[in-house]
Each structure stands twice: as structure tokens, then as C-alpha cells.
Structure 1
């Protein structure tokens, strides 16, 4: 069940796991949400590996390489939508999911659900499916259902983060702020270790333990996140974006982007 634009672009759709098992690495041009009511395994998103246990919602941004590693197959629902159908950046004030559910290099890309919340999301998925089954699906109704689903997901995620009792490492949280401030011109872990007054080896160990990623990967992902944003939301040329992100030339930028995402900047923009 899906809807397309007049030019044939896939805008929004729902399918079940029989149609799309996701047991092998795949990339999609759309934002992807996996709704798993029962089952457990590991959700792979690019180089990240995230253990999960249903009921849960898993989230992936366009062209991430994703797949499920499971010991026993189980049914689940795949909901996908294109940025041209519902732009999460433009609707940030309404749903608050950009940087929380999607496009966050620090948080685990899933929302754990209670049994009651799982029932509510099952109903929302059914409403979307019913509208998609209509002879002429209403884009307004589909967007409203999608917006509600994203807003509820963001609310649950925010609440779970505020309730976590895990101790906060102030130096590591300071690194997060420093990376957002300096990612354009500081590309080496040693640069951030120096700013925090830590030996490079100690810095790397603490970052990896705290964020479950190496500092080098976090720096690269922060650059890619900004590149994707500019490719999607601006009309600047690849060359202009490359120079804005402090790359020596557009060819180096293209190689860097493709190494991390598996596709070229132009392919991502298209």
C-alpha cells in the first residue's frame, strides 16, 4: 500500500515483513520506521548495532544501510515516507522528531513501547493503511496520521530520556557541544582531547564507552549529517557545499560522502 507523486516518486507506504524482511543490508530513499510488536534482535544502521526487544519502534534516515539480525523471524510493519511528502525539518515545531528520532549521531535510533503504547501505534498504522486503501487517498489525512505518529514517538522518547538514571559524564557532554561548534574545522580526535585537557588515549576510551562510537566516527557522522541537510534543504551546488564544509575540493568531498553513506552526494540529492 503506497502513494506516489505525479512524477512517480514514492511518497508514503506501509508493508509487512513478509514483503520486506530486511534480513540483508538495504538502503531506502525514504525515512523508515519499523514497528515491531514482538521479537528481538539487533538493528544495524550504517556502522551502528543496536539490540532491541519488542514492542519497539526503530528509525532510519534516507539511504542509511539498515538490516535486522535475528535468531527467529517475526512479523513487523515497515512505514516509509519521503521528505517531499512530510519534511521533518519544516515541521520540527509540530513533531520535534528531527534530532531525536532521526538525524542524531548520539542517541540509539529506537523507542521502547509499553503494551498500551504498542496498541495505540498499531491503531495508527491501521488508520494509515485504511486511508492508503481508499480509492483516492487523502494526502491531508495521511499527513495528519503520520504527524501524530511522529509526535507520539518523540514524546515517548523525550520522556524515556528524562527518566534515565544513568550518570552523566560532564566532560563527554562538553565534547558533544564542542563537536557541534567546531566540526567544520576540527576533524581530529586529538583536537577535542586537547580542548578537554585529556590524553588522546584516555579521551578515545571515554568517548567510546559513553557514546558507543569512536570519536573519529562521531566527527565523520557530524560532517555527513550537515552535508545531508544542505543537500536536501538548499539549492547550493555540490562544489559550494564542499567548500562550505571546509573540504579542499568537491571530489574529495564526494569520495568522503560516498565512503560513509555508500552513495554520491548527487545520488543522495536526487
Structure 2
């Protein structure tokens, strides 16, 4: 096994990881499910593998970037030698919610339940992102004035560039039935409008005047997820946002998301995030926006 190196910053107040850059040369680090209280970005420079994230599997190839939100479970199994860079950052280091106006990566790189977490990159795009990573690594070795501000600035540049790449990529053409794009967009709109009150696949099939089986088939083909998966992921994204940005009691958050039973909501959250709502709040943050 080849040497793997990391540059790490620790939050002096919490003693927890704040920011990390890790160069990997095999899949040893990713063989077990990763489910951490910080954001993760995997830039693959060489090799191929299979990525499993949440409920789905994706092909991971050289010249690709995969992005994962806080406590989003993922694991990677290499098919050939896998090399690249892993970047981790805690919400206390950089909060994508609070900086949405400056860096619109939320809903693009992170928390996008309708698209693959993997972004394909051109060689020039890989080179550009690696240059930013080199600037980050150099600054991490330089504990000088305003180090945090400069690191965050470089991280913003990385996120903006990666978001632009993903947004500029051509959307795949859906063959066959011309009605499918309309149905897919209508489904997304319906989930965004009703995920707090409608939690079953059948309810969305009813809204779209289509059978549950047919809607699930379309969802599986184009989103690589069932309707139930999509609904669960959307609820969890909103629950995480509320837990992080507000001081609302878990019971209130549960009620606002359509759960009359706080304990059922907690089981639902833990079943999908592998962590309890309270532990999520304790390890990710608490009412940061109100501080």
C-alpha cells in the first residue's frame, strides 16, 4: 500500500475537524461507509470504481468529482487503481447555507436529490481544480495572519468553479416518450411543494394522474431512486437545515415536516441519516444563524 498524506486543521474550540485535504492512492479509506459531520468532495484523477451513496450506485471514473453533504453515507469500491484528492470541511468552517448568495453550491453540488453526486470533468477542469487545491495545501502549511480567511476564499473559488462546471454540463437527452421530461419536472415540483405533507409514493402518483408503479419506474430510470427514496431524502435535507440553522425543538421540526410523533420522526431521521436528530445538532451545529 502506498503512502497516503493529509493536511488537517482542527477547530481549537471543539477539537473537531475543521478542514482537511487528503491525497489517496487506493480505495482503502473508502471501503467502509463514510458518514461524517462534515462535507466531503472526492476528486478522482486516476482509476475507476463504484460509488454507493444513499440508496443508489454510480460509476466513478478518472476526471470526476463526487460531492457529499453532512452525514450523507457513501462508500467507494475501486475497480482499478484509484487516485485522487479528498476534501472535508465542517459547517463551522464554511456554511453553504449562510453563504448561498455568494456560493450557490447548495442544491447543485450538495443536497441535490434528483441528480448524481458525480460530476464528469474535462482534463482542463481537473487541472484548474488541482491548482486551487495546491493553493489550499500551501496555505495550510502557512499559519500566518488571516489564514482562515484565505483558506475560505480558496474553498469558495473551488466550490464556485465546480458548481459552474456542473451547471454548464449538457443535460442528458431522454429518449422515447416525449412526455417524460414534463412528468419528471412535474414530479420534482410536486415533491418540492408537498414533501412536508405528503410522504407516500401513491400520493404523488395521484397528483400526476399516473399509476404508482409507472411513476416509480420512471423515477428509477431517470433519478436512480424510487419515489419513496426521493421523498425521504428531501425531508432529511430540510430537517438537517432546520437542526443546523435554528434552535427549534426537534418536536417542532418534526411537526412542521408532517410528523405528529416526535419519536417516529427521530427513528425516520436516524434510519435515513444514521444519526439521531439530537446528535446531528450536537456535532454539526446549533442555531448558528441565530448566534
Query: What's the TM-score once normalised by structure 2's chain length?
Result: 0.88
Matched residues in 2 for 1:93 and 1:160: separation?
22
Of residues 114, 139, 160, the one that matches 2:148 is 139
Instruction: Provide the residue aligned with 1:178 in structure 2.
Output: 190
Question: Secondary structure of 1:21's match?
Answer: helix
Residue 41 of structure 1 and its aligned partner are, at CA, apart by 1.1
Instruction: Provide the residue aligned with 1:6 in structure 2.
Output: 12
Residue 178 of structure 1 and its aligned partner are, at CA, apart by 0.6
| Mapped pair 1:89 → 2:97 | yes
- Structure 1 residue ranges, 4+ long, deviating more than 6 angstroms after superposition: none
Residue 18 of structure 1 and its aligned partner are, at CA, apart by 5.3
Matched residues in 2 for 1:30 and 1:63: separation?
7
Instruction: Provide the residue aligned with 2:138 in structure 1.
Output: 130
Mapping for residues 212-227 of structure 1, pairs under 5 Å: 212-227=224-239
Residue 227 of structure 1 and its aligned partner are, at CA, apart by 0.6
Instruction: Provide the residue aligned with 2:121 in structure 1.
Output: 113
Residue 204 of structure 1 and its aligned partner are, at CA, apart by 1.8
| Mapped pair 1:199 → 2:204 | no
Q: Structure 1 regions of 5+ residues with no counterpart?
A: none
Q: State which drifts further: 151-160 or 49-58.
A: 49-58
Question: Secondary structure of 1:92's match?
Answer: coil
Mapping for residues 42-53 of structure 1, pairs under 5 Å: 42-53=50-61
Matched residues in 1 for 2:201 and 2:52: separation?
25
Query: What's the TM-score once normalised by structure 1's chain length?
Result: 0.95
| Mapped pair 1:56 → 2:54 | no
Of residues 49, 52, 59, the one that matches 1:41 is 49
Matched residues in 1 for 2:174 and 2:46: separation?
26
Check conservation: 2:24, 2:85, Cα contact below 8 A.
yes
Question: Secondary structure of 1:76's match?
Answer: strand
Of residues 251, 268, 271, the one that matches 1:239 is 251
Count of residue pairs the alignment pairs up: 269
What per-residue deviation string (whole Å, max 9, x for no partner) do you get for residues 45-74 of structure 1? 122211121111110111111111112232
Matched residues in 1 for 2:35 and 2:163: separation?
24
Matched residues in 2 for 1:135 and 1:200: separation?
57
Question: Secondary structure of 2:42's match?
Answer: strand
Matched residues in 1 for 2:276 and 2:195: separation?
21
Q: Structure 2 regions of 5+ residues with no counterpart?
A: 1-6, 283-291
Residue 258 of structure 1 and its aligned partner are, at CA, apart by 0.6
What per-residue deviation string (whole Å, max 9, x for no partner) do you get for residues 4-44 of structure 1? 22211311111122596212212111100111111111111
Alpha-carbon RMSD across the aligned residues, in angstroms, is 1.6
